Amino acid sequence: MAFTPDFDSHPIEATITSAVPLAGWVEVVWSDGRASRFHHIWLRDNCPCEQCVHPVTREQMFEIISVPADLRPQRVWVDEEGSLAIAWPAVSDVPAHESHIHPGWLRRHAYDDASRQERSLEPVTWDASTMPEPPTFDGRAIMEDDDALYEWLVALRTWGVSVVQNVPCEVDAIADLVARIGIVRETNFGVLWDVRSEPDPISNANTSLALPPHVDLPTREYQPGLQFLHCIVNETEGGENILVDGFRIAERIRAISPADYAILTTVPFQWANRSATSDYRWDAPIIVTNADGSLREVRVGNWLRAPLDVPFGVVEAAYAAYRRLFELTRADDLQLRFRLQPGEVMAFDNRRALHARGAFTDMSGRRFLRGCYSERDELMSRLRMIERERRACREAGAVSATRRQ
């Protein structure tokens, strides 16, 4: 079977029934009836042969500028293994070439509308009525079982919030949980950090004050993608945990005030920490969208803003939009409220979910949380690796079943 330019398995869920070269592309029809068009230049760019892709690193050596921009196949066929085969003609000093593209790989990378839609992973936004409590998972199962880990990470990717129970009340236990996903992101607060009221606090987080809805480290060029807060002791009165879906707030602003939405997505606000030992600052819009307009991240943290520094004529509109956003962070119907218990970890997308806490009575007992950060990338990589292992098992199972026949 044709070599693939990656380390993944590509079970063949649909075979190629026909492949027809047309003016600018090849039209492939699959056994389930789907038709996918592949541009000639895309097919040449994705030739997986050992001259084009390094057989050990599986990284590309071929460069598209080494062939003419209008290169067209001489012949297209489905080879005896079911791969898409393409003969490329010799053109001036560029020698002829032959590509064999694995049908399972090709189907997974098809870019017709239906295939792209199938691959899209849209987050699902929520409010207090659609999500009365955070999705909850068992930490013991997550530590031992990749299926349980997978289920948790899919929920975190989809909803942006979760609670993991049964995590040992030990100061480093959160590091073991996050190691199941990937690498902890160290910051100027350390690898793991404490959240408790301190006599000489370095942040409002280390007081008993209420904290308004925020993401952590909006002061950084790249805000941590994931945050984990492990409750080890919670014997105080108050200190209620609050989560708000920043994407739902953004959707609501977009619906009720396109003008405010335009300000929040385009005008950079200023962010800065106040610290005796560091001076992190960044300018960025409060809502960041992807190229297609879908939501990528929010940046919210009232006590970490620097004085607004925008053109004179924009100040009033910027404050109006900012006020609208902050009013929505307080909307009862958007706030998910609960009380984290010892042994529970609140895990959330720090570039999407805003977290807050109620004030707590310092005298009434102790409240001690340990926290750390990681990245969305780490989560996505772990999910793909679990999926890759599942595909490899499926393929191995199919091969052994074939041998038994």
Q: What does the DSSP 8-state code read for residue 81? A: T
**Closer to Fe ion by Cβ: residue 104 or 225:** 225
**Closer to Fe ion by Cβ: residue 139 or 301:** 301
Q: Which stretch binds Fe ion (CB under 5 A): 135-143, 210-218, 285-293, 325-333?
A: 210-218
Q: Taking Cα atoms as reference points, which of 403, 264, 252, 241 lies closest to residue 322?
A: 264
**Closer to Fe ion by Cβ: residue 216 or 375:** 216
Alpha-helical runs (H) found in 62-209: 103-108, 113-119, 139-144, 146-159, 173-179
User: Considering CB under 5 A, how many residues would be counted as binding Fe ion?
Assistant: 1
CB 376, min distance to Fe ion, A:
17
> How far apart are alpha carbons 250 and 127 in whole angstroms?
12
> How far apart are alpha carbons 380 and 121 in whole angstroms?
11
CB 17, min distance to Fe ion, A:
55
> How far apart are alpha carbons 150 and 146 in whole angstroms?
6
Site for Fe ion in 247-306 (CB under 5 A): none
> How far apart are alpha carbons 327 and 321 in whole angstroms?
10
CB 202, min distance to Fe ion, A:
13
- With a CB cutoff of 8 Å and minimum separation 6, the contacts of 163 are 134, 135, 136, 137, 338, 340, 344, 345, 346, 347
Distance between first and last Cα of the chain: 20
Gyration radius from the chain CA atoms:
26
CB 203, min distance to Fe ion, A:
8
- The helix-helix angle for 146-159 and 376-404 (nearest 10°) equals 130
What 3-state DSSP class applies to 116?
A: helix
378 binds Fe ion (CB under 5 A): no
**Closer to Fe ion by Cβ: residue 203 or 381:** 203
Binding mask 159-198 for Fe ion (x = CB under 5 A): ----------------------------------------
**Options 177, 208, 213, 216; binder of Fe ion; rule CB under 5 A:** 216
CB 217, min distance to Fe ion, A:
9
Q: Across the chain, how many H-helices and E-strands are there?
A: 10, 20
CB 227, min distance to Fe ion, A:
7
**Closer to Fe ion by Cβ: residue 216 or 297:** 216
Ranked by CB distance to Fe ion, the top (closest) residue is 216
CB 156 within 8 A of CB 378: no
Q: Which stretch binds Fe ion (CB under 5 A): 45-53, 69-77, 161-169, 209-217?
A: 209-217
Q: Which stretch binds Fe ion (CB under 5 A): 5-13, 212-220, 247-255, 277-285?
A: 212-220
Q: Which stretch binds Fe ion (CB under 5 A): 155-163, 213-221, 255-263, 382-390?
A: 213-221
Q: Which stretch binds Fe ion (CB under 5 A): 174-182, 215-223, 326-334, 335-343?
A: 215-223
CB 232, min distance to Fe ion, A:
16
Phi, psi (deg, nearest 5) at residue 244: -135, 140
Site for Fe ion, rule CB under 5 A = 216
